[in-house]
Each structure stands twice: as C-alpha cells, then as structure tokens.
Amino acid sequence: MLYPILAELVALTHFAFIVFVLLGGLLALRWRRAPWIHLPAAIWGAVVEFANWSCPLTPLENWLRRESGVAGYEGGYIDHYLMPIIYPAGLTSDMQVWLGVVVVVVNGGIYLAVALCRKHA
C-alpha cells in the first residue's frame, strides 16, 4: 500500500522540480537568495538534457512502481509523462538538446530581468 503512494509522490516531486528548473528564477524577484538554490538546479536540469542522462528520480519511481506490483515504464520521466503531451512522437536526443536550450534561454531571460529590476530599484 505504501509503494504506490511513494511512487506518485516521487512523480509529483519530479514534476515540481522540472517546473522549478524552468521557472524558479522568478523567485529571485522576491528573494535575493533564491538563485543560490535555483541556479544549481537549473544547471543540473540543463546538463541532464544536454548529456542525455536520466534523472535519478526516474529509476526510483520505477522501482517503487514495480514493488507495488505495477509495471514501471521505459525511458525517462519526460518521455513518459511530458512528451506525450507536448509531442506525439518519442523523445529523441535532438529534442533533449532543445529542451536544455529552453532551460538556459528561459532562465537567462529571467535572470536578466531580475538584474535589471534590481538595478532600477
């Protein structure tokens, strides 16, 4: 009974981390120390995409699902949960590089805005 709940908790944590990687820089508009937490997460997210790595949360979620008697899934978290929503085809290495570029560009724009807001404040 505990394994399915933990698997869902890991999946939700994984999703929250992805959102934080992509948009967490916005927290720097409110809290000056937010970049100390967000930048390492954003760098990790971009590196995982550029290097075509699998996040450690994916095997943990699959293990919890198998332990609960449910089959795990092939591929990574993004391929399993997010890519079917964004793209009908499977995740390719080229697509992962573009996802990494999106992380870098979005966060670069956010931190540029943060710097400009602080300069004018």
Within the chain, residue ranges assigned H as helices are 2-23, 34-50, 57-67, 77, 83-86, 93-120
Phi-psi group of 72: left, alpha or beta (phi > 0 → left; psi -120 to 50 → alpha; rest → beta): beta
Handedness of CA 104, 58, 55, 12 (dihedral sign): positive
Eight-state DSSP code of residue 24:
G
Query: Per residue in 6-35, pLDDT tens?
Result: 888 888 888 889 889 989 999 988 898 999
- Domain layout of the chain by residue ranges: 2-120
Query: Per residue in 35-73, pLDDT tens?
Result: 999 999 999 999 988 888 878 888 898 898 888 887 666
Contact predicate 67/3, CB 8 Å: yes
